Amino acid sequence: MRPVAILGIGQTKIDEHWDKSLKELAGEAAFEALKDAGIERADSLFVGNMLSPLIDRQNQLGAHLADWIGMWGAEATKIEAACGSGAAAFRAGLTAVAAGEAESALVVGVEKMTARAGREVTSALATAADADYEVEQGVSFVGLNALVMRRYMHEHGWKHADFAPFSINAHANAMHNPFARLRQRITAEQFEKSSMVATPINLLDASPIGDGAAAAILVPAEKLTGRRIVVAGSASATDTIAVHSRRDPLFLSAAYASSKQAYAQAGIDAADVDVFELHDAFSIMAALSLEACGFAERGQGPRLGLDGQIQPKGRVPVCTRGGLKARGHPVGATGMYQIVEVVQQLRGECGETQVDGAEIGLAQNIGGSGATILTHILRLET
């Protein structure tokens, strides 16, 4: 397998794009990535998306987008892995280029979620849970995370207020990201007084949905000279879909397994990571991800936030462009937004939230409540 590098990136602002269709959003990000890469088309196309059959009544997204952007005749495939669809598509494109099956791959993550009523979107998102033993019993996706958070607080003695730094940091960073949906600061007091969604998760624990697309161009690293960003590690792992079936519901075993494999491929460990774009769909997931990936001891994830270590100048900078919490969470596109944001950090393009000297970035995308987890490590080479 040959080394692969990222040649170009593109993204749209996450918002309620009433005037743009699914293919128009995807095309906008795709064209930006092609322009950034300095090429007109790629050999292959991989599209990450979760909800298009349920919300947009559209399948065949590979061919649909290839037709829209003028990539007629190219291999084009849609990849679905719930909220991990973006990173799963990235891994598919990476594999194609690394294996020599393609000389270039355009990967696009896209989702359009705001054109339907909230109850329809909630029902569609619930398809990432176990239909027989979770959805059938009436538990929502946020309800599952609330149950995990409640048990975590009970086991480890944390209060709800102890999770506030995750959301505060995300919003502070989103202030400097023009593509983010929620570009406003929040305070600890606002966090605590926010409306309850599913105890103990309130509105400011949870990420907002939205419409958006993000894209990247992958090519063999050998074709690039000078500074380049290579994919140093890529791994995917799974756990049970149903949370209650897990050996330990408070540990993301798929995050542990995929990060361990990616670290080994890159020849690094957690201490070498300069920036971590984690999947903070809910604040509890931020804590669990930090623990599973080796940045905190079991039960001590919130401590990093309370000690100020997750900020851009901290020991473990996370969600430096706003994360899912403030940048927004257009589910099938989220994994590609994370890739794009790590690339921006390694290029030194993040302005006020730039991590000094960033050379190694970690992006971790989670499907469902931890059933599918993909970990990618990007490295700046000179």
Return the pLDDT at 135: 86
What share of the chain in percent tops pLDDT 90?
A: 92
Q: Do 196 and 315 contact (CB within 8 A), yes or no?
A: no
Pairing label, strands 196-198, 75-79: unpaired
SS3 content of the chain, % helix, strand, coil (to 5): 40, 20, 35
326-372 pLDDT, tens digit each: 999 999 999 999 999 999 999 999 999 999 999 999 999 999 999 99
196-230 pLDDT, tens digit each: 999 999 999 999 999 999 999 999 999 998 999 99
Return the pLDDT at 121: 87
Residue 17 has pLDDT above 90, yes or no: yes
Residue 117 has pLDDT above 80, yes or no: no
User: Would residue 83 show up in a list of annotated catalytic residues for this protein?
Assistant: yes
Mean pLDDT of 308-320: 98
Cα 376 → chain centroid: 10
Return the pLDDT at 139: 86
Return the pLDDT at 80: 98
Which two structure tokens, joined as six digits, stand for 26?
Answer: 């995807």
Of 134-143, 174-183, 216-225, 348-357, the least confident: 134-143
Mean pLDDT of 34-41: 97
Residue 74 has pLDDT above 80, yes or no: yes
CA dihedral 166, 170, 172, 175 (to 10 degrees): -170
Return the pLDDT at 275: 98
Return the pLDDT at 129: 87
Return the pLDDT at 136: 84
User: Would residue 64 show up in a list of annotated catalytic residues for this protein?
Assistant: no
Counting Cα atoms < 13 Å in the Cβ hemisphere of 323 gives 34
- Look over the chain and give the mean of its residue pLDDT values, rounded to a whole number: 96
**Amino acid letter, residue 207:** S
Pairing label, strands 275-277, 360-367: parallel
Mean pLDDT of 254-276: 98
Taking each continuous run of H as one helix and of E as one strand, the counts in the chain are 11, 11
Q: Do 203 and 345 contact (CB within 8 A), yes or no?
A: no
Which two structure tokens, joined as six digits, stand for 247?
Answer: 């050996």
CA dihedral 66, 54, 215, 30 (to 10 degrees): 40
Question: What does the chain come to in residues?
Answer: 382
Q: Do 88 and 109 contact (CB within 8 A), yes or no?
A: no
Predicted TM-score (pTM) of the model is: 0.97
Which H or E run contains 310? Answer: none
Mean pLDDT of 70-92: 97
DSSP E strands: which ranges in the chain?
4-11, 44-48, 75-79, 105-111, 196-198, 201-202, 212-220, 228-238, 275-277, 360-367, 372-381
157-168 pLDDT, tens digit each: 999 999 999 999
Return the pLDDT at 294: 98
What phi-psi label fits residue 149: left (phi over 0), alpha (psi between -120 and 50 degrees) or beta?
alpha
| pLDDT class of 126 with cuts at 50, 70, 90 | confident
Cα 212 → chain centroid: 13
Higher pLDDT, 219 or 56: 219
* Catalytic-role residue among 17, 64, 329, 376: 329
Higher pLDDT, 232 or 127: 232
* Catalytic-role residue among 83, 293, 319, 350: 83
